[in-house]
Amino acid sequence: MKKMSLQWRLTIITTLLIAIICGCLTLLLYKNGIYYIDSLQDTVNSQSTNSDELYIDIADDEWDDFAAKFSMKVYDSKEDYRKRSLLITVLIAMFGGAVTYFISGRALKPLRDFSKSVEKVQAQNLTDCTVEGGTVPELDRLSVSYNKMLLRLSEAFEVQRQFTGNAAHELRTPLALMQAQLDIYNSTEHPDSDEQTKETIKMMTEQNERLSKLVRTLLDMSELQTVARKDEIELNSLIEEVLADLEPLAQEKEVKLVEESEELVMTGSDILIYRMIYNLVENAIKYNHAGGQVLVKAVQKDTNIVIEVEDTGNGISEEFRERVFEPFFRVDKSRSRALGGVGLGLAMVREIVRVHDGKISIKENEHGGTTFEVVL
């Protein structure tokens, strides 16, 4: 039975259940019919004093009354028989359905286990979610194909990560040389330069800084999988550090930073969690308005730690709340470029949350702004 295919299991189980149910129905209906036929016989026998012989002597003036009573008895017996037969059929069908549900559930348990294994698959644990076969032939073949697919995906992600890291490394050197030349040019006086040249040099400097920041971010994202995540992190201290580092930017934008955190300790990467909170708070400051506020909270909910970053900005439309985590996606492209963003801040946040087996979501708050909620 252990090596029997799923198709044969279901076939045999269904056949046995149908045979048992039909047998029970036939037996019960037979017994039920005999019972009511005997009841009619008893009615007739009750009219006779001799149980061995049956003589019915009915006077002419009593025949109509006897016929009416006999007809009524037959009708009542047929109606009672119909009701009982229907009730028995329903009860047997319900019992058969319950038994079928239980037995088929046992037979399909390997398929449910396979489904649970598939649900656990994430980009950072592809090779850890392989499925072991050995129970059902069909699932054995499916497990082999599934494991091969995971291996190919893991290799593809690794190639992509290596390419991104290598490309970022290769771009750092020419960008650094360009920045050095621009710094040398900007450090000296050029009285003969016209306004167009100055604007060109300024534009080149800004774009070079933007490209350098983009390369650093790509390099950081390519190395996320290799960062150890075994640090004991004091969240309230880490949040205070982030807010202290971003205080100059907040003062420049006239935004107030507020912290409401419990004394919490979690296990993860200190560097990555710092970067995650930093990116969320920096984003909340940049897209806030003068006189606004950014609130950072960290609380314990059941077995999870929930970190919330709440701002008083213009909010994010519901249609864009998933897309803002896509690399290089911008809700307001002109404003993002004016603020110096490269379009990878929230994408990195999502990846950091993923490697810590967490979830991130966006919702509107009571101030009309945006609240980023991270559950770790």
Instruction: Tell me: do 255 and 366 sit in the same domain.
Output: yes
- Are residues 238 and 214 part of one domain? no
Q: Is 152 inside a domain boundary? A: no
Identify which of 81, 58, 84 has the alpha carbon closest to the alpha carbon of residue 70. Answer: 58
Asked if residue 127 is part of any domain, the answer here is no
Is position 206 within any domain? yes
- Residue 194: helix, strand or coil by DSSP? coil
Dist CA 176 CA 150 (whole Å): 39
- pLDDT for the residue numbered 202: 79
In this structure, are 349 and 299 located in the same domain?
yes
Is residue 33's pLDDT more than 50?
yes
Q: Residue 292 is part of a domain; what is its CATH number?
A: 3.30.565.10
Say which amino acid occupies 330: R
Domain closes at, from 222, 245, 275? 222
What are the structure tokens assigned to 109, written together? 């348990």
Q: Are 161 and 225 in contact (CB under 8 A)?
A: yes
- Domain that includes residue 172, residue range: 157-222
Q: Inform me whether the pLDDT recorded for 49 exceeds 50.
A: no
Residues 180 and 267 in one domain: no
Q: Are 222 and 168 in contact (CB under 8 A)?
A: yes
Whether residue 371 is found in the same domain as residue 312: yes
pLDDT at 321: 81
What is the pLDDT, as a whole number, of residue 34? 65
Q: Are strands 293-301 and 256-261 parallel, antiparallel or unpaired?
A: parallel
The model's pLDDT over 89-146, given as tens digits with 9 standing for 90+, comes to 677 767 776 777 777 777 777 777 777 777 766 655 566 666 666 566 667 777 777 7
More confident residue, 30 or 253: 253
Which of 170, 188, 222 represents a domain boundary (last residue)?
A: 222
CA atoms of 63 and 54, how far apart (whole Å): 17
Using pLDDT thresholds of 50, 70 and 90, give the confidence band for residue 48: very low
Instruction: Of 37-41, 105-109, 291-295, 324-328, give the lowest mean pLDDT range.
Output: 37-41
Structure confidence by residue, pLDDT tens digits, 217-250: 666 666 666 667 788 888 888 898 889 988 988 8
Question: CA-to-CA distance for 314 and 322, rounded, in angstroms?
Answer: 17
Q: Of 87, 107, 127, which marks where a domain is finished? A: 107
H/E segment holding residue 108: none
Question: Residues 11, 58: one domain?
Answer: yes
Q: Which residue has the higher pLDDT, 180 or 134?
A: 180
Check residue 11 and give its pLDDT.
Answer: 67
The mean of the pLDDT values for the chain is 75
Question: Number of structural domains, the chain?
Answer: 3
Q: Are residues 168 and 29 both part of a single domain?
A: no
3-state secondary structure of 55: coil
Band of pLDDT at residue 66, cut at 50, 70 and 90: low
Query: Are 196 and 314 contained in the same domain?
Result: no
**Same-domain status, 171 and 293:** no
Domain membership of residue 130 (yes or no) is: no
Span of 54-63, 137-146, 250-259, 341-350 with lowest mean pLDDT: 54-63
Residue 61 has a pLDDT of 67
- If asked whether residues 307 and 330 sit together in one domain, one would say yes
pLDDT at 269 over 80: yes
Cα separation, 314 vs 358, in Å, equals 26
- Domain match, 174 and 262 both: no
262 pLDDT above the threshold of 70: yes
Q: What single string gives the DSSP state of each residue in 298-364? A: EEEETTEEEEEEEE-S----GGGTTGGGSTT--SSHHHHHHTT--S-HHHHHHHHHHHTT-EEEEEE
Q: Are residues 263 and 294 in the same domain?
A: yes
